[in-house]
Amino acid sequence: MSTAPQLVVHRDKELMARAAAARLITRIVDAQASRGSASVVLTGGRNGNGLLAALAAAPARDAVDWGRIDLWWGDERFLPDGDPERNATQARAALLDAVPLDPERVHAMPASDGPHGTDVDAAAAAYAEELARAAGPTDHGGVPEFDVLMLGVGPDTHVASLFPELPAVRETERTVVGVHGAPKPPPTRVTLTLPAIRAAREVWLLAAGEDKAEAAAIALSGAGEIQAPAAGAYGRARTLWLLDAAAASQLPRALYPPASA
Ligand SMILES: O=C(O)[C@H](O)[C@@H](O)[C@H](O)[C@H](O)COP(=O)(O)O
């Protein structure tokens, strides 16, 4: 079932990052209050890391019980462990090293110097198994029900490492796949697929900057998910687009009417 996207537009990307960080804290605290723990999927990219840095600086960050949270990734650049370009390395620098997480609950995607070596497809299959082990009997499609799954939106409408027209975005069975020949470097990546993304309770798409305006307009105007992967990213309970004014500047007026005078 697809949930209609809701849009929240902030003045600029700094405010967007701070507001999204505050929203994430609330969401995690609520999940921990109702179910004892929270499950969050992180995204790579400037917007995702901006949000994590804003969270690190937020006074309310200590409201989160960091030992009772599972962190997963929506995609990873298939590089050696600790490489500065890895999404996990960047997330650690932005936030994760500063909070008392349970290392057993930080589920980084495999690196290219890990147990599967440079076999990205084996690495993807191993991550799918890790997700399946964490899934409960009432969860959907071999992944735990993530409370919040975040995705940065690329200028070509890619999300995670699901690029327009490439095989990964067409995957309907597997939850995690290897990506070969991605147009955004590095070319080899690991990614959740659309079915895995759609198992999340809430999916948040982050888009800031003028270079995202066209992508947001296309994805929100009824484009197909093979051509515009962001259009296929939605959550079971909620789909939220978090934008800054520049990224919202080409949206159809019906979606984002100009502010009243
Ligand atoms: O590994 C990556 O590069 C990503 O996870 C990718 O999907 C990213 O989120 C978008 O390209 C948006 O990135 P920006 O926020 O930097 O524009």
Ligand 1 atom nearest to 184, measured from its CA: 3
- Residue 253 buriedness (CB in 10 A; 0-12 / 13-18 / 19+): exposed
Ligand 1 atom nearest to 212, measured from its CA: 17
pLDDT single digits (tens) 38-87: 999 999 999 999 999 999 999 999 999 999 999 999 999 999 999 999 99
Decide if 219 contacts 228 (C-beta within 8 A): yes
ipTM higher than the 0.95 cut: yes
pLDDT at 258: 65
- Is pTM beyond 0.90? Reply is yes
Q: Which CATH number fits domain 5-218: 3.40.50.1360, 3.30.70.2740, 2.40.10.10, 3.30.70.2190?
A: 3.40.50.1360
Nearest residue by C-alpha to atom 14 in ligand 1: 45
pLDDT at 1: 58
pLDDT at 261: 47
Across all residues in the chain, what is the average pLDDT?
96
pLDDT single digits (tens) 3-21: 899 999 999 999 999 999 9
Query: Helix (H, G, I), strand (E, B), or coil: what is residue 54?
Result: helix
pLDDT at 256: 78
pLDDT at 138: 80
Separation between Cα atoms, residue 114 and residue 135, nearest integer Å: 24
Nearest residue by C-alpha to atom 1 in ligand 1: 44
Q: Give residue limits of the domains in the chain.
A: 5-218
- Best substitution site from 41, 85, 120, 158 to test ligand 1's pocket, by max atoms within 8 Å of Cβ? 158
Residues of the chain with confidence (pLDDT) below 70: 1, 258-261
- Best substitution site from 43, 51, 158 to test ligand 1's pocket, by max atoms within 8 Å of Cβ? 43
- What kind and span of H or E run contains 236? none
How close are the terminal C-alpha atoms of the chain, in Å? 37
CA of 152 to the centre of ligand 1 (A): 5
- Rg over CA atoms, the chain: 17
Mind spelling out the 3-state secondary structure of 97-140? HHCCCCHHHECCCCCCCCCCCCCHHHHHHHHHHHHHHHCCCCCC
Beta strands per DSSP E along 136-246 = 148-152, 176-179, 189-192, 202-207, 238-244
Pocket of ligand 1 (CB under 6 A): 43-48, 75, 77, 87, 152, 154, 158-160, 184
